[in-house]
Amino acid sequence: MKLAKIGIAAAALLGATVVPLSIATPAQAASCSGSQIDSIAVKRGGSTYGTLKLYYNSSTGKNCARLDRVVNYGTKAGMILSLYACGKGWSQSKCFRDHYDIGQDSGQFGEYAGPVTVNGKGRCILVQGNVSDKNANWANYTSPVFHCG
């Protein structure tokens, strides 16, 4: 910050025009490429704790997932996001055990977990999202094996 102020002051002394740099916000930096194929509420009881967003990029064959916090937005609390690529017609247990590819992100996040990607071309996917509130109450979602591509 100190260097930025010095640079602006030096530019002003030299009569130069100061143009602010365009910096990507965390939400822009953490986006998935491709088309959104699903949006799923992660709920505890009737309360939405988070939103799972799934994307598929047909040119790369990649599936991508991001888990956005809804409950206590901005407050860092536990989040877990897992995206599995598995075979067509597989059960949840087989996908967890014998998946082809997995993308995971977990930690204490105030806004989102992910994005995570897997190679989903010709495969089905399974996604799990877990969101904790500030009191350590968890909302959990596990999809079926779906979105086969």
* 100/31 Cα distance (integer angstroms): 23
The pLDDT of residue 129 is 98
> Could you say which architecture CATH assigns to the domain 24-142?
Sandwich (2.60)
The pLDDT of residue 41 is 98
* 60/58 Cα distance (integer angstroms): 6
What is the SS3 assignment for 76?
A: coil
Q: Where are the domains of the chain?
A: 24-142
Q: 145 CB contacts (<8 Å, ≥6 apart)?
A: 86, 89, 90, 91, 92, 95, 124, 125, 126
What is the SS3 assignment for 20?
A: coil
pLDDT per residue of the chain (149 residues) written in tens, 0 to 9: 433 433 333 333 334 333 333 333 344 447 899 999 999 999 999 999 999 999 999 999 999 999 999 999 999 999 999 999 999 889 999 999 999 999 999 999 999 999 999 999 999 999 999 999 999 999 999 999 999 97
The pLDDT of residue 7 is 39
C-alpha 28: how far from its chain's center? 11
Nearest CA-CA partner of 82 in 114, 50, 59, 40: 114
